[in-house]
Chains A and B, each alone.
Chain A
Amino acid sequence: MAMKIRTLKILICALPLLVGSAFADAVSVDALASGGASMRDNQLKEIRDVLRGGRGGYLDLGFNYMPLVTQTPLKSEYGEHDGFAFRHHMAGFAAGEVKKNQHLGFLLWFERSGWDGEDFILFPRYNDFSAVRSVTTWGFVYTQSALDLTFAGGMQHQNVEHVGDIYPDENDSLLYSWAHLRWGHASVQGSFHRSDWRSVRISMDLESRAVYGGRTSGPLTYLPNVEVALYNGGDDHDDSVRVTWEQNLIAQRLYGEVSFDFPSKEFHSAALKYYPDPSRMIGFEATCLRRNVRSGSADLLWGGAIDLLFLRLAYNSSYEYDRLYRAKGTLIAEVKFSLATIDGFLFGRGAPRSAPMETMKLDKKSKDNSKSNEGKTLEATGVRFEKAASEGGDK
């Protein structure tokens, strides 16, 4: 009897996985072949978000976890190969004040992703059909906080670790340079390969954000964040433009986001995101994405995701579709951690407000040498935050 119940429990636990993988669609060779350009662009976009203040720090770590080989198979000319689309990423940024109002910082973004027969982090399988690529972005950041001015620049390395012969030829080591200029709410970002531009991103982050000294409420927090990204199509394609509009809908907790592509004048994606707290450590999102498969309603991919500080669960969400080689039809889990800080306040990337913290309580409890406490509060705030939450639950 006990055995039966145990088997039943295992079955119930495995059910979502089975359902999740039964309708899983394969990732394509095309999506993997063009992965490098989108990896570089995504990193620059994240850097834009983190450099909105131009100082403070940021830490990010994460990897996708898929237990079944049938969740993201690869579709090649030979058939469907069992295996894993995977993505390992980490990022860090830290800046310090070198002179009054002058901050110097360094940032490093790293991502390794592709498709492989196994998704070991340390021991890749590298089979005949694998494609594994990595992109590293680094750069120096200078911020004049009195003028609210940031200048950053550095290099981007795109390296092919392993590529099977079913993929088109690719340069195994490409070097790009990038530069970022921000003045107040406006920023311009450029990516270059030798003397040729690859992309230009113009952002107007008009929304007033409390973390960067803005308002916590009021009409100024309802101003939109508009992004215009231009991409060089190279010799074969036309240059393209993607316009993204992010809009605070309710009290910096509910956001809408729409993006359109030009010159095709086509809808690309839309998202509705709800953050229970404006610090964006936890989020829920519903997304809709156009897949460009040209078959009417099947073009639209509806999905959603739950983002908890350490774990993200997504099904057909646009974030995963764009970053995991158009993987869809399966439940994708990501073990992750990501946190930004400025002046000792903590918040998620792109958040308008910091997490509520109970620094006052801590000051009261540790009575001895209150002067040196200032340095300690910064380190202890994260711990206090968790403990304070559990105390609140007891009451």
Chain B
Amino acid sequence: MILRNVTLFVSRRALLPVLALLALTLTGCLSHWFVDSTTRLQVENRSKSTILGIDIISEDGSSVRPWIKDTIEPGERSRVYEEDWVGTFNLRIKARHPLGASAQNGLRAYADGEYVIEDLEFDGGSEFLVVSDSEKGPGLHLEFK
């Protein structure tokens, strides 16, 4: 009888560690509740320029991986692209700026710009990036919403 009580006591005591161990075997599952392992990016262009593409560029600038493959005209939104960029990376935006009034012969003048935002942190999950004209002068203003 005493032995049985002891066993019961031990099993109740053991319940918590056993449950904890069960939870541990799920490892990644636990963190998956609050961590995403991919980033889904959508970009809205509220600037007057055309966005030609958004990529991740390596730290030494030697290699590039495209992320947003769409050309986004002013006032338009890109499609959503899901990529494995979770962490800290350099983002590159290529944009085409119209140069004032249209030139002669019906040809339009423009200037291509390339912007690199260094050490941008992506925590995974859904990201909505709004690109607008910079109020401080020529260039783009970026805001994650």
Contact = CB atoms under 8 A, between A and B. Distances in A.
Given A65-B24, A335-B21, A81 B56 contact: no
B7 to A, nearest CB: 10
Interface stretch (A36-44, A115-123, A189-197): A115-123
A82 B31 contact: no
A65 B84 CA distance: 22
Contacts of B5: none
A77 B58 contact: yes
A83 interface: yes
Interface residues of A, number: 27
A109 interface: no
B90 interface: yes
Contacts of A77: 58-60, 62-63
B25 A78 contact: no
B64 to A, nearest CB: 9
Given A77-B60, A78-B59, A335-B21, A119 B28 contact: yes
Interface string B79-91: 0000111111110
A270 B87 CA distance: 34
Contact of B29 (A66, A73, A120, A129): A120
A128 interface: yes
A63 interface: yes
A373 B25 CA distance: 36
Interface in B10-66: 21, 24-32, 35, 37-38, 56-60, 62-63, 65
Interface of B: 21, 24-32, 35, 37-38, 56-60, 62-63, 65, 83-90, 119, 123-124
A117 B65 contact: no
A93 interface: no
A7 interface: no
Contacts of A117: 37-38, 84, 86
A190 to B, nearest CB: 36
Interface string A61-83: 00101111100011001111111
Nearest to B122: A82
13 contacts: A63-B25, A69-B37, A69-B86, A78-B56, A78-B63, A79-B59, A80-B88, A82-B37, A83-B37, A83-B86, A84-B28, A121-B27, A127-B38
Nearest to A84: B28
Given A78-B59, A117-B86, 16 more contacts: A63-B27, A65-B24, A68-B31, A74-B87, A77-B59, A78-B65, A79-B59, A79-B88, A79-B89, A81-B85, A117-B84, A118-B37, A120-B27, A127-B37, A128-B83, A335-B25
A118 B27 CA distance: 9
A69 B59 contact: no
Closest 4 A-B residue pairs measured CB to CB? A79-B89, A117-B37, A127-B84, A81-B87
Contacts of B59: 77-79
A125 interface: yes
A335 B23 CA distance: 12
Interface of A: 63, 65-69, 73-74, 77-84, 86, 117-121, 125, 127-129, 335
Kindly name the residue among B26, B30, B62, B86 whose own CB sees the greatest number of chain A CB atoms within 10 A: B86
A121 B63 contact: no
A337 to B, nearest CB: 11
Contacts of B124: 82
Contact of B87 (A63, A67, A73, A335): A73
Contacts of A129: 84
B9 to A, nearest CB: 10
A169 to B, nearest CB: 17
A118 B56 contact: no
Contact of A128 (B30, B58, B60, B84): B84
A127 B84 CA distance: 6
A86 B62 CA distance: 30
Contacts of B56: 78-79
B53 to A, nearest CB: 16
Kindly name the residue among B25, B26, B37, B124 whose own CB sees the greatest number of chain A CB atoms within 10 A: B37
A86 B65 CA distance: 26
Contacts of B65: 78
A118 B84 CA distance: 11
Nearest to A119: B28
A76 B26 CA distance: 27
Given A77-B58, A82-B124, A125-B37, A67 B30 contact: yes
A118 B89 contact: no
